[in-house]
Every structure is written in C-alpha cells, then in structure tokens.
Amino acid sequence: MIKKKLLLALFFIPFIALSFQGSTVTLIQGFIYDESGNPVGADIKFINSVGKKIMLKSNSKDGSFQQPFVQGEKYFPIFKGYVLANGFESFEVIKTGKYEEITRNFTVKRIQSNLNIMSEAFFKDGDSILSADAKEYLRVFKEFYNYNKNLTFRAVISAPDKAFKPTSRKVQVKVKNKTRTKTIKISSKDLESDFIQSRINQLTKALKELEIPLSTFNFEKKIKTNPSKTAVNNNNLEIYIDQIKNL
C-alpha cells in the first residue's frame, strides 16, 4: 500500500508542475465538514487576489479534496450552497520555493434565510468611502453571488465609527410669494440617517460597477441608540441571506 501511494505521488507531481509552469506550488489536501462534523460534498471555487479561479468538488462520501496552489498567493474559498462558518475568509499559501504538501480543512454552514455571511468595517472611519479591503471583499462576494444566484440579500449599513451632534440649518422658504430665510433644527438621528444614506449610495455604485443586480439587495439603515457617540464595534456593514429562491 505504501509503495502504491508513493508511486501515485511520483506520478502526479510532474503533472502538477506542468499545470503551473513557472510557479512553485503547494498541494493542499483536506476535508470539508459541517458544524456537526459531517462530511460535505460541495462545488468549490478558490479565488486569488487578482480574481483567478480554481474550481473543484469535494468528495460527497468523506468531504475530501486536494488541489495544487501557487505559493505566495492569497485565496478566498467560495462554496455553492454553503458559506464558511466564520463568513468570508482568506488564507495565504506560504512561499517556500519548493514543492510542498499540507493539510487544511474547512468548516461550512448550509445557506439559510437570515444567516449573517459578512460583518466588516467596509467604510473608512468617519467617511462614506469604501476601504481597499471592502473592494476586495465585494469582488469575492460577486463570485459567491454567481455561484448562488437563487439568493437575495439584506445589507445593514451603520455608522458606529462616527458621532453626530444636533445642529441647525438655514433654508429658503416661500411665504405668500415671498422668499424668507428660516432656521430649522436637525437632530443627531437625522444627521446619522443622511450619512448612512451616503454610504448606501457608495455601496450601490460599487455593486453596479461589479454588475451585481441591485434587485438582489434590500438595504437597511441601522441607527445607533445614541447617535452622538461612537460605538465600540466598528463593523459598519452586515450582509444577511434574505431569501432562497427555487430556480
């Protein structure tokens, strides 16, 4: 048996090298389990930082898989019908300069309504501009959506990283055909709501650029209990599975 395994390894190594000419690879072998420890057979995509895809399927009997990966790259695993137990995560294949073999297992959750699949600080502190990490996560999310087009999503946007103080604003109003200046008060909650809307606008713009249909999203604003203070948790975007449609 040992001789057979050795012969198989020696047989496959040249093919692995040919498949990734010019790059040193690591063969990752492992298992896909659900949270109860049961093996999962699933379609898998591994997406690297420039959007290249590796597609494979884990064994339905024991959840096993094996795949060579280029060293020095970061990869996001995406599953059809499942999501990683901790949401979207990446791993990096260490560059050693020589062929390696390692073991890596993944724990997944089956997709269901109201499942939180992402909770991140998507926007720069105190701003409506998306962070560089957010743009990378959205590219990965697009692949997840393409793999699971029977889903709709609920995006909850907030502003825990910014405090809002009540203020006043002068506006022009018409009274009996005359224009007058009036001072109106603006509450901290209204200011926070307007700010969150600017974040929603930036997010929808990014989704459009990635050609992710806005019809698959419901957007919600999450106003702090006390808008005049910042919150400890700076995660300002949460994405949940909303509905699962039969295609």
Report the range of poorest mean pLDDT among 2-6, 50-54, 200-204. Answer: 2-6
C-beta of residue 240 within 8 angstroms of C-beta of residue 151:
no
Residue 22 is predicted with a pLDDT of: 58
C-beta of residue 82 within 8 angstroms of C-beta of residue 108:
yes
Q: Which architecture does CATH list for 1-110?
A: Sandwich (2.60)
Q: Please state the pTM of the whole predicted model.
A: 0.82
Helix (H) or strand (E) holding 104: none
When pLDDT is averaged across residues 188-214 and rounded to a whole number, the result is 95
Report the range of poorest mean pLDDT among 21-25, 53-57, 121-125, 195-199. Answer: 21-25
Question: Distance between CA 44 and CA 59 in Å, rounded?
Answer: 11
* CATH code assigned to 111-247: 3.30.1330.60
Domain ranges of the chain: 1-110, 111-247
First to last CA, the chain: 46
C-beta of residue 245 within 8 angstroms of C-beta of residue 152:
yes
Residue 2 is predicted with a pLDDT of: 40
Which tens digit of pLDDT belongs to each residue from 36-45?
A: 999 999 999 9
Residue 247 is predicted with a pLDDT of: 57
Which tens digit of pLDDT belongs to each residue from 167-186?
A: 888 877 777 777 888 788 88
When pLDDT is averaged across residues 203-214 and rounded to a whole number, the result is 95
DSSP 156-225: EEE-TT-----EEEEEEEEETTEEEEEEEEE-HHHHHHHHHHHHHHHHHHHHHHTT--GGGEEEEEE--S
Between these two residues, 120 and 247, which has the higher pLDDT value? 120
Residue 19 is predicted with a pLDDT of: 47
Which tens digit of pLDDT belongs to each residue from 58-88?
A: 999 999 999 999 999 999 999 999 999 988 8
